[in-house]
Homo-oligomer: A and B are copies of this chain.
Amino acid sequence: MHSTFSDPSSHPSSLQLTPHPSYSILLDMTQAATALAHPNIAFIKYWGLKDAANRIPANDSLSMNLGGLSTRTTVTLDPSLRADVLILNGERVSGAGLERAQLFLDRIRRLAGNPSPVLIESENNFPIGAGVASSASGFAALALAGAAAFGLDLAEPALSALARFGSGSACRSIPGGFVEWRTDAETGDSFAKSFAPEEHWDLADCIAILSESHKKTGSEVGMRLAGTSPLQAARVADSARRMRLCREAILNRDFNALAAITELDSNLMHAVMMTSQPPLFYWQPGSLAIMQAVKRWQVEGLPVTYTLDAGPNVHVICLKEAMDETLTRLRRMPGVLDVLLGFPAGPARLLPGDSQVSLQKV
């Protein structure tokens, strides 16, 4: 057992020991910590792994954190527990969900050299498993709260690299604002960092919820099939170009350019999904209806664009000035159960241990 905790290959490369001022509050070796993280919506998608063991993605990706939507997670070390306990939205989780959290905590325990079981209490203010990436905010919050509870002082890149082992896209929920997840081909370092702060551009993400049920095929499972599509290699080969165009569109606040590359990238990912073996169709008829409505609204001059993750819900991104109109139109679309709102948001952060911060307000 002890050898597991000292396995150097499990360390997320050379990044893990760099001190970082923003987390120095933890150095009193707290035995419990609470963190808050936002989901993110990718304009350039992550789909498929180049190196599954080290969770190295097939292509770089680019996203925006989504404030208004949050996961708050408290990790408490409790050596008296026989095993980790996970309470998610007030309900005790067992099976695969617990196991995934345990495996992730094992990584933190190895880094800390401390095998203590933990109590994990996690709460989302949005429905999980339906295309709003709860695993991203969940593992970002768990990485930060877990590292803090175990007294680890990780710089943002190391924390982002750590979070990616819980869920790839979780690494993008560690830094704030507009974020790129890049892998260094030489060192293998793979983490996300901000390239523009949340104040940079007043966008809104109007998330049309078509289903609140769990996906048939979760994205972690689905993306293992990416390589079976005849199209994945071409999608990946073209990704550096899309990263550049998307970054430029955001830096220039060029909405039309952002719309073109965002829709293309979403369509490319779903093209790979639909041509995997077996094929994965995350779109529902209602998803397609919204995508086509967005194209009509663009012709009318409304600054909107769409992107879909591994689920049926449609993220309709717009300039904030067009948000009210977009919301009104989306609520009229058939099959839309609800519309959630997200705005560019800051990084994952620690909260006071006895925080009563309402998730509705962050």
Contact = CB atoms under 8 A, between A and B. Distances in A.
Interface stretch (A169-177, A200-208, A267-275): A267-275
Given A230-B234, A234-B230, A285 B289 contact: yes
Contacts of A274: 267, 270-271
Interface size class of A (residues with CB under 8 A): 20 to 34
Given A267-B279, A271-B274, 6 more contacts: A230-B235, A263-B279, A264-B275, A268-B275, A285-B286, A288-B288
A204 B49 CA distance: 41
A292 interface: yes
Nearest to A285: B285
Nearest to A264: B275
A281 B288 CA distance: 9
Nearest to A263: B279
Contact of A279 (B231, B234, B264): B264
Contacts of A231: 231, 234-235, 268, 271
Interface string A208-244: 0000000000000000000000110111011000000
A256 interface: no
A24 interface: no
Contacts of A295: 281
Contacts of A267: 271, 274-275, 279
Interface string A269-305: 0111011010101011110110110010000000000
The A contact surface, by secondary structure, is: helix
Nearest to A290: B285
A239 to B, nearest CB: 9
A288 B285 contact: yes
A-B CB proximity, top 8 nearest = A271-B271, A285-B285, A234-B234, A230-B238, A285-B289, A267-B274, A231-B231, A285-B288
A260 B277 CA distance: 9
A285 to B, nearest CB: 4
Given A231-B231, A231-B235, A233-B234, A281 B292 contact: yes
Nearest to A289: B285
A279 to B, nearest CB: 6
